[in-house]
Structure 1
Amino acid sequence: MKNYLKKIIFILAFILPLFNLAGFAQQTEVKQTVITGVITDATDKDPIPYVTVLFKGTGIITKSDADGKFVISTRETHTELQFSYVGYKSSFVSVKPGESQVINVKMQSESQSLSEVVISSNKRPAYRNKNNPAVELIRKVIENKSKNQGKAYEHISYQQYEQMSFSLSNLSEKFKGKKLFRNYQFLFEEQDSTKIGGKLTLPIFMEEKLSQNYLQRNPDKKKVVVLGDKHVNYDSKFIDTKGMSKYFERMYADINIYDNNISLVSNQFLSPIADASPTFYKFFITDTIKTHSPQLIELSFIPRNNTDLLFEGKIYITMDGNYAVQDAFLTVNKNINLNFVRALEAKLDFDKNPDGRYHLAKTNLIIDFGISQNKGGGFTGQRTVILKDYQVNVPQPDTVYQGPAHVIAPNAEKRPDQFWNNQRMADPSLTANINIYKNIDTLQTIPSFKRTMDLVTLLFAGYKDFGPFEMGPVNTFYSFNNVEGFRLRLGGRTTTALSNRYFFETYGAYGFKDEKWKYFLSGTYSLNNKSIYAFPQNYIRGSFQRDTKIPGQELQFVQEDNFLLSFKRGENNMLLYNDIYKVDYVHEFENHFSYAISARKWTQRPGGSLIFNNFDANNLHSVDHINTSEITVNLRYAPFEKFYQGKLYRTPIIDKYPIFNLRYTAGLKGVLGGEYNYHNLMGSIDKRFYLSQLGYTDVTVEGGYLFGKVPFPLLTIHRANQTYAYQLNSYNLMNFLEFVSDKYASVNLDHNFNGFFFNKIPLIKRLKLREVASIKVLYGSLRDENNPNKNPDLFQFPKNSDGVTTTQSLDRTPYVEGSVGVGNIFKILRVDMVKRFNYLNNPEVSEWGIRARVKFDF
């Protein structure tokens, strides 16, 4: 039983990180009318989806979901509901104003008996865009997008309430009845069994926010003031709650149907009213709602290919000359090339402005995830966004836009329960899971839960918590290489349980082949009285490290002595033994600009087959070590960056925004034994470009220049990879220490087609595979003053056992490698065939290679 619980929480922990203003608190004296119910066929009793429901003679409209369920509310006094659907007679039902009611409606079919049936063909006519009234209508909508999405207004202001909930869903009564859960029944919630996520759920996360938003055109300005912020709080030593919030925010992003592309679950879907939508969608006029003012046209749409990242559903278009979207229902086909998504529904409701145009008033987005498409437990998330007090062309004082664009009110996280109850009154469904706040607080006091989360943290984050101290990371306890042989390592660090100001970290390692001890010790003082791993960081650190390093090996999100990286191709017998004394100062800002200043005294000694040799009076002379003293300044700017903070690394939640890096290093000769004067400047830009249905491209542009005369260990040693893992930022067929430069420029492009081609191949499309391709180009050169072939007093380039030089500079020809591959194998694996296009005569190089990478995508 215990193992069963641990498996459930194990899955949860794996998926999540991979996820008092009086004016606002006042209640209106007009009571709200709330109608819920189910619409079915009067004959066969099957639910009817997407039925238009409205208060007769008004613009208050909604539609039933895929299960025929609907909810509609108003504070106005209306006494009759109208139900309309093509092929059925319109139904009218009386309601009682100011009350909550359940009204189930049975609709009668309009079908009539025919005296004669003539069958002309069993083949449907081919769908065409030409002379298609539905396509002509959607083109009118596209033509009028600019004025209908608010760009015609100089000033806009509104309040936004949003609620995000996430649950372990589709659970069985057998699961709930396990003996292990006998004392934890308070965690489970029951809902209507026809809803997405099934009858039995276990809520695990919820957050609510209320913000005041101001927008201005010419010049463009935006101000967001967060008035309230309430969310579930997990123990930070187990889960980064803020990171989880950002993860869900990316997965369940805002939906603007007027944008060409809509971001959901880390992918981009083409909007049904995108400029190119007639190329990818089929449109059908399925109903005309004449009782609504203005008259509405119900326009249904489906993808031309049901495996593409496209929606299907209905939109309602106003026939008043504005051709605006008045309502929308979006879902996806079950065959879509989207991992783990079992169901997706989005409902968009629009309200009319005084000038007759419409603005988005409410969005309700539900996504259900699961390994099995139709059964078994899974995860269900729901995000509801409500906009109110919407005002247009009401200028705000300039003081409103002063200061940061995003501001959190001082008491935002201390709002009382009544404050939030007032916000939830707009939709009764928003009160469904509010017990989660106290339930999670209670859960975290239970010893068995703490023990289980402790185990999960050990397995995935790699640390075992002992209160003020934690041991790890586990995946570095054992590794091996040709120089050190078997390597054992043990280490750990202090936690906030010891101090919010002082942090210490250490490890010790021993190589059984080189019989040398390696160790590390650091002490850090937090200047903002919070964990040094929490954003924004502001600390000063002093450290000493004696350890080995592969020249030029720069890894992201993994440590070099990770056991899985011990397996390498070719020769791997050149290491550097390093003694590094270092002082760092790091300061991050809320706008995601940061700077870091470090001072380093660095001693490098060659290891394995690596030798430092130079010519002294024409005699070859061996040098035991080199000393350098450096000052480094790093500048980084990542606007709108989102990430999940793990125990070791920040895992980025990649979006469309660029990341800028600039680093300057100065070598100081004569300072603390430094032997060289030099200046090294490096800059890079990383950005993801979304190409709608063609997928996305990750682009990295980088360049550097070194001023001064230095030996090759201080040159830019280009990032190589001799493991069998595909590394995005390394050259996967380049050998360690193969190329060095004192000036270089590079561009890396990695493109994911998201199955654009595979989706159109019969049978293959069922596998939901995705095409990937990459190209990496590196230009570099070495001035004569830094080239040992021209300057014999410099360290000579390394040679192999056959006396052949294995390190060189790039000539006028750039180094180029590319790959094509298949991603999403078993939903987690990417395999690339990599080709190296030049420098094939260098010793011990491979022209071709197969590399694999584990990557979790939706």
Structure 2
Amino acid sequence: MQNKLFCLLFFIHFVVLSQISITGKVIDQSTNNPLPFATVKTDHNAYALTSSTGEFVIRCDSYPVNLTISYVGYETKKFSIKSEDVVKVEIQLSPKQEDLETVNLDIPGSIASNIIKQAISNKDRNNPNKALSNYSYKTYNKFKITEDNQARFETPDTTGADMERIFNDAHSFLSEKVSLHQFNKGRDEKETVLASRMTGFNKPVYNVLGIKIQSNSLYKENYVIFNNRYAGPLSNRALKNYYYKVLDTTQGKRPAYVILFQPRRSKRIASLEGVLYLDMETLAIQKAVAELRGELNVLVNHNFKYTSEEKLWLPLDQEVTIRPGIGKQKVTLFGGQISVGRLGNDKKSFTGNNDFLISKTDFFDYNTKPDTKIKTQQSAIEIDPDATNRSEEYWNEYRTSAITEKDLKSFTVVDSIVQAQNIERRIDVIQSFNIGYYPVGFFDFDLTYPIKYNNFEGLRLGLGGLTNEKFSKRFRAEGYLVYGFRDAKFKFGIGGGVLLNKDSGSWLNVNYTDDLREVGSFFYLTDRRVYSLFEPRLVNIDFYYKHRTWSSSLQHRILPKLLSEAQFSVSNIDQTGGYTFINNGETFSQYKTAESTIALRWSPFSKFLKTPNGFKEIQDGYPKITAQYTQGYKGIFDSNFNYSKIGIKAEYIINRLNQSSTSLLLEADIASGDIPLTHLYHAYPNAPTKETVFQRFSVAGRRSFETMFFSEFFSDRLATLQIRHRLRPFKLASWFKPEMVLITRYAIGDVSNRDNHQGVDFNSLQRGYQESGFEINKLFAGFGLSFAYRYGAYHLPKFEDNIAFKFTFYLKL
């Protein structure tokens, strides 16, 4: 659905009236060696940068084609192509006759490597975030998705005409942003968006404001372009990731070394290639140019200015340009994905200089001695309440890059098209769909309810959801109704909430539920909104209990990184099977519980965007830690048992530049007191209790033990560890990149007073449970295969009973 939307909005196919493609190579006149990263421009401002082999491709409109070729340390040359018979040229540049400062380093070995080693050693002195205790600055960013104005559409219908107006008269998307940035050493940098506007939208699409388009610093370990990470050219592992070569030196008040960097392990490590201009005295970066060629063609520029008072090079401006490449790489925007690479594969679909996405940022108003202190545990980005209502005078005051007539037309032209095509509604649908809802008017339908299946209810059909801000900004109502065809029973839930504090997202809720719950299941309140199109483990569950529950809860964000929820509930419990609980000589198959629960979710390394609608997590950071405490009270509302339950889990994911990743999930749960089996713990088993391996063939779960049979183990003390190591994808074709994941899982636990639980035969986990296996994912339409083997203390006598062979299903929208 997302791809269709953005194809409609940005990528309507069109034909080219005229197109001239000039290819060439730039070399040294005396040595015939290629000159990498030379600049090639035309009179009409089309440009190209030569590759590491000195080659370039540039597109022009008509003959004659006048080229200007420049390269550091060489004479600039003009070259004219008057005939269409010339399609490939070789351009020779001659070195400038200058007395360049000699490179003298005492360390033996490669000159370039020694310079880089020293530059890495000097990073803390040259990086403003390390050298300054605090500082602030402002930025003006102009971000546009654009197309050459020669484009024309084949289709003469109304939609095509509207889209033609977008491309010819305006940019297909344009946004402007003015921000204040504040930095205190030892704390996260804070960005306050002072002004923001986007073509076609009355209010910002907050997903765009949260995108990391381009890193501000080249001193960090990773360089980020559109949330994708690449090895930094001055990272601590830079010499393992890059080759370096001194191309030249520059003269002036602050002479610099010009150093080429090229990937050593481009097939294994996401890398860039380019040139660094390093100050001869401090080895700080004066300027940087980098590129990435392949599925996307990316060109990055950084310029810095020297401040004599601080003796630092501070950012002056930076730009990233993305053009279609040879693959189908996608750029995420609005919660959907724009396929940039697709255009690059269609030679008839692109004209002019081939720029597709351009982001330019200017830095100004530096203050290296600000009085403001940044609070700890705050949002990384905050939006000023007046940011979307700034006047044209305000914009003119802060614009540092010229706004063109075509830029200004974008706001009015695209406004009308967005309204006519109802684009805001489509984006709203995409963003709601990503968290499991489909909005219709004032009501958001919950997509987890329409259809499910399990071994107790059989087919479970239903409908549910909650009201949105169109109904009320302070009140909400929610509910659902489902029907199980095998047990022939309706289940339902109804409730509502009132907003107590908008800034902290504090909601007071009251709910009533009449439904089923799996025996031994344990849910963290702060994790309740986990949406999946398909919940594979639920298919095989057949051991449930009935509950009728009244609950009242308070949701509150204590800090941007600390989410809490407190709940008090009273439940009437009935069994669906023959289970009974013996407590103090009394037998219970029906009982009542009264519980209070407090849950916390801490994301200390995540980054959050504060919007008028609340907080939005814009960058995942790990570990994420969740904790929950539940206390049961005997005698409160005639409840039968006293007990307590504590659960804590920690999730940690390591994402590597070679596209591999390792995730660890550690969870520990303890229950004590008079607690029935329904409220104990299981380890998420997912093996149906059937005779053969093929009868047990189903779909693997997300965090389940695939070889552990349902109802085989229950515990009142349980610890589990799951480790998943995803290898870098196997690129068998541009459209076929399967992924192998190595998996191992451990569980250990015990249960007290096992004889008090009657009617169910289960074991303890005190000897430790182990299984290992692998998944091969993304074989077809989100499907893959998994294999797991059970070993160790709970290995079963029959070999085949220790094996689980299943489908996997991972679908990223």
The secondary structure found in structure 2 opposite 1:228 is strand
Counterpart selection for 2:723 from 734, 744, 749: 749
Contact 1:682/1:703 (CA < 8 Å) preserved in 2?
A: yes
1:202 — aligned with what?
A: 172
In structure 2, C-alpha distance between the alignment counterparts of 1:854 and 1:245, rounded to whole Å: 28
Counterpart selection for 1:849 from 785, 805, 809: 805
2:292 — aligned with what?
A: 332
How is 1:77-88 mapped onto 2 (pairs within 5 angstroms)?
84-85=70-71
After TM superposition, give the deviation of residue 143 of structure 1 in Å: 2.6
Q: Does structure 1 residue 541 correspond to structure 2 residue 516? A: no
After TM superposition, give the deviation of residue 537 of structure 1 in Å: 2.1
The secondary structure found in structure 1 opposite 2:636 is coil
1:359 — aligned with what?
A: 314
The secondary structure found in structure 2 opposite 1:372 is helix
Counterpart selection for 2:518 from 529, 550, 571: 550
After TM superposition, give the deviation of residue 854 of structure 1 in Å: 1.8
After TM superposition, give the deviation of residue 436 of structure 1 in Å: 4.8
Amino acid corresponding to residue 737 of structure 1 in structure 2: S
In structure 1, C-alpha distance between the alignment counterparts of 2:214 and 2:559, rounded to whole Å: 21
Amino acid corresponding to residue 349 of structure 1 in structure 2: N
Q: Does structure 1 residue 636 correspond to structure 2 residue 601? A: yes
After TM superposition, give the deviation of residue 623 of structure 1 in Å: 4.7
2:192 — aligned with what?
A: 226
Q: Does structure 1 residue 311 correspond to structure 2 residue 307? A: no
Long gaps (5+) in structure 2: 12-21, 28-33, 42-46, 59-67, 80-88, 96-106, 324-329, 331-338, 688-696
Amino acid corresponding to residue 241 of structure 1 in structure 2: V
- Offset from partner CA, 1:772-797 (integer Å, 9 cap, x none): 333332222223x3x22xxxxx2226
Contact 1:725/1:851 (CA < 8 Å) preserved in 2?
A: yes
1:733 — aligned with what?
A: 707
Q: Does structure 1 residue 508 correspond to structure 2 residue 481? A: yes
Q: Does structure 1 residue 467 correspond to structure 2 residue 441? A: yes
1:388 — aligned with what?
A: 364
1:269 — aligned with what?
A: 230
Contact 1:735/1:845 (CA < 8 Å) preserved in 2?
A: no
CA distance 1:560–1:64, shift in 2 (3 Å)? closer
Normalised to the residue count of structure 1, the TM-score between the two structures is: 0.72
In structure 1, C-alpha distance between the alignment counterparts of 2:115 and 2:563, rounded to whole Å: 50
In structure 2, C-alpha distance between the alignment counterparts of 1:540 and 1:636, rounded to whole Å: 18
The secondary structure found in structure 1 opposite 2:178 is strand
After TM superposition, give the deviation of residue 288 of structure 1 in Å: 1.4
Counterpart selection for 2:631 from 666, 679, 696: 666
Q: Does structure 1 residue 414 correspond to structure 2 residue 401? A: no
CA distance 1:572–1:705, shift in 2 (3 Å)? closer
Amino acid corresponding to residue 853 of structure 1 in structure 2: F
2:30 — aligned with what?
A: none
Amino acid corresponding to residue 779 of structure 1 in structure 2: I
The secondary structure found in structure 2 opposite 1:751 is strand
CA distance 1:650–1:527, shift in 2 (3 Å)? closer
In structure 2, C-alpha distance between the alignment counterparts of 1:260 and 1:465, rounded to whole Å: 41
In structure 2, C-alpha distance between the alignment counterparts of 1:555 and 1:13, rounded to whole Å: 41
Q: Does structure 1 residue 497 correspond to structure 2 residue 459? A: no
In structure 2, C-alpha distance between the alignment counterparts of 1:6 and 1:715, rounded to whole Å: 42
Amino acid corresponding to residue 202 of structure 1 in structure 2: S
After TM superposition, give the deviation of residue 348 of structure 1 in Å: 1.5
CA distance 1:306–1:401, shift in 2 (3 Å)? closer
Q: Does structure 1 residue 592 correspond to structure 2 residue 561? A: yes
In structure 2, C-alpha distance between the alignment counterparts of 1:853 and 1:482, rounded to whole Å: 20
In structure 1, C-alpha distance between the alignment counterparts of 2:588 and 2:784, rounded to whole Å: 44
CA distance 1:319–1:474, shift in 2 (3 Å)? closer
Q: Does structure 1 residue 782 correspond to structure 2 residue 743? A: no
Normalised to the residue count of structure 2, the TM-score between the two structures is: 0.75
Task: Say how many residue pairs are matched.
Answer: 721
CA distance 1:754–1:13, shift in 2 (3 Å)? farther
Amino acid corresponding to residue 415 of structure 1 in structure 2: R
Counterpart selection for 2:137 from 140, 152, 159: 159
How is 1:49-60 mapped onto 2 (pairs within 5 angstroms)?
50-51=37-38
Contact 2:791/2:802 (CA < 8 Å) preserved in 1?
A: no
1:372 — aligned with what?
A: 342
Amino acid corresponding to residue 808 of structure 1 in structure 2: N
1:796 — aligned with what?
A: 758
In structure 1, C-alpha distance between the alignment counterparts of 2:497 and 2:200, rounded to whole Å: 25
How is 1:153-192 mapped onto 2 (pairs within 5 angstroms)?
153-163=131-141, 165=143, 167=145, 173=151, 175=153, 177-181=155-159, 184-185=162-163, 188-190=166-168
Contact 2:26/2:50 (CA < 8 Å) preserved in 1?
A: no
Contact 1:90/1:107 (CA < 8 Å) preserved in 2?
A: no
After TM superposition, give the deviation of residue 716 of structure 1 in Å: 1.9
The secondary structure found in structure 1 opposite 2:491 is strand
% identical aligned pairs: 18
Amino acid corresponding to residue 240 of structure 2 in structure 1: T
The secondary structure found in structure 2 opposite 1:741 is coil
In structure 1, C-alpha distance between the alignment counterparts of 2:405 and 2:795, rounded to whole Å: 66
Q: Does structure 1 residue 278 correspond to structure 2 residue 247? A: no
In structure 2, C-alpha distance between the alignment counterparts of 1:232 and 1:415, rounded to whole Å: 12
Counterpart selection for 2:578 from 611, 631, 638: 611
CA distance 1:508–1:815, shift in 2 (3 Å)? same
1:817 — aligned with what?
A: 771
After TM superposition, give the deviation of residue 460 of structure 1 in Å: 6.9
The secondary structure found in structure 2 opposite 1:422 is helix
Q: Does structure 1 residue 517 correspond to structure 2 residue 471? A: no
Amino acid corresponding to residue 222 of structure 2 in structure 1: N
CA distance 1:261–1:225, shift in 2 (3 Å)? closer
Amino acid corresponding to residue 486 of structure 2 in structure 1: K
Amino acid corresponding to residue 229 of structure 1 in structure 2: A
CA distance 1:689–1:42, shift in 2 (3 Å)? closer
The secondary structure found in structure 2 opposite 1:181 is helix
The secondary structure found in structure 2 opposite 1:733 is strand
The secondary structure found in structure 2 opposite 1:140 is helix
Amino acid corresponding to residue 137 of structure 1 in structure 2: I
Long gaps (5+) in structure 1: 16-37, 55-61, 70-81, 94-105, 113-128, 192-199, 335-340, 789-793, 799-804
In structure 2, C-alpha distance between the alignment counterparts of 1:681 and 1:477, rounded to whole Å: 33
- Offset from partner CA, 1:691-717 (integer Å, 9 cap, x none): 554743333332222221312111122
Contact 1:189/1:433 (CA < 8 Å) preserved in 2?
A: no
Amino acid corresponding to residue 453 of structure 2 in structure 1: F
CA distance 1:147–1:458, shift in 2 (3 Å)? closer
Q: Which moved more, 1:323-332 or 1:400-409?
A: 400-409
- Offset from partner CA, 1:471-529 (integer Å, 9 cap, x none): x335632333332233321234323222222211122222222121111111111223x
1:99 — aligned with what?
A: none
After TM superposition, give the deviation of residue 567 of structure 1 in Å: 8.1
CA distance 1:750–1:178, shift in 2 (3 Å)? farther
The secondary structure found in structure 1 opposite 2:172 is strand
Amino acid corresponding to residue 223 of structure 2 in structure 1: I
Q: Which moved more, 1:179-188 or 1:372-381?
A: 372-381
